[in-house]
Homo-oligomer: A and B are copies of this chain.
Amino acid sequence: MTIAHPFTNDYSRSAHPKILEDLVCLGTRAFEGYGCDELTTQASQLILEACEAPEGAVYLVHGGTQVNALYVDFVVRPWQSVVCVESGHIATHEAGAVEHLGHRLVTLPADEGRMDAAVLEDYLRSWRDSQLREHMTEPGLVYISQPTELGTLYSRKQLEALARVCRSFDVGLYVDGARMGYGLASEANDVSLADLSRLTNAFTIGGTKCGMLFGEALVIPDAAHAGSMRTLIKAHGALLAKGWLLGVQFLTMFRDDLYTSITRTANERASRLTATFIDAGFEMLIASPTNQIFPVLPLELARELIETFGVYEWEPVGESRLCVRVVVSWATTDEDEAALHEWVRSHALR
């Protein structure tokens, strides 16, 4: 990559210096293998405290597609399906991982990336009332993301509404938090980890996109339902021999709130950039309060922005404009940010 100031994604650079430092500090100390080490234990403890889930269990695995497939495989029975929005990551860019393990996905239309409680309820009711119900998979788990694929957030009220619907139909609720750090640190956010413990059956806290080398924490607030997960992780080829590699990174992240402090900075940069885009006369596809923003530009300008800053084309808007995805990350520097402000201002529509 020869892009000086990339805004491509939040996983193209190594890890926060503190992570690397703590990793190297361990030298060649010996640890118990497969996540039975004390660093993993301590990290899990810290995470459960942050989640206010003393009875919970935490499992650390290396990646987001893996952790999603793992939890689905753990709870969804062979006659059941997973319900998500059409733009849900498991439905679009996880190469059919959920289906490959034998589980059907059912997709609902999204509202700015979110699943609407009323839409979900309609679907669940129509399934329950169908003459042909036995010929259709039973909804077993609802999958949502916080933040969503569009950078938007569920409010606590929206999450409570979904949880209520799920409970009334006896369907589980799972939250993919691959970018949870950016969500937690958002000014617009009113959903805490403790809220997630209270309202969901499980959720993840993503590290890969939030400053770690790799690593996602699966939190199951009610550990009574977590027996034999480690054997399933092994069966998925996801029980890292040197599991303490995950432990040490999450420990660094959750000691002294590094997790939300570096993501907060990213959100603030994104917020300032949004303001600059708007001042310069560009529309935003959506009002995103996290680290991904979606400006809409005339085709030619969009092409230049893509080339200069390595951003992704998102979708066409009408005939003559293009929405692009600008991703600020924990690694974005003041220089990166300044370069983008400068470009936007110098290409202002007014």
Q: A135-B95, A242-B11 are in contact. Are A235 and B78 (CB under 8 A)?
A: yes
By beta carbon, the residue of chain B nearest A241 is B11
What does the 1/0 interface line of A298-340 toward B look like (CB < 8 Å)?
A: 0000000000000011000000000000000001000000000
Judging by beta carbons under 8 Å apart, are A238 and B103 in contact?
Answer: no
By beta carbon, the residue of chain B nearest A133 is B231
From B33, B74, B239, A78 is in contact (CB under 8 Å) with B74
Q: A78-B232, A245-B213 are in contact. Are A12 and B33 (CB under 8 A)?
A: yes
Judging by beta carbons under 8 Å apart, are B100 and A96 in contact?
Answer: no
- Taking residues whose C-beta sits less than 8 angstroms from the other chain, chain A's interface range is 35 or more
A188 within 8 A of B: no
> Which of A63, A80, A95 has the most CB atoms of chain B within a 10 A radius of its CB?
A95
What does the 1/0 interface line of A135-160 toward B look like (CB < 8 Å)?
A: 11110000000000000000000000
List the 9 closest pairs (A to B, CB-CB), nearest first: A66-B237, A96-B104, A95-B234, A99-B104, A95-B235, A79-B231, A96-B137, A93-B135, A79-B232
Q: Which residues of A contact B (CB under 8 A)?
A: 1, 3, 6, 8-9, 11-14, 17, 20, 23-24, 26-34, 62-70, 73-74, 77-81, 92-97, 99-105, 131-138, 208-209, 213-214, 228-232, 234-242, 245, 312-313, 331
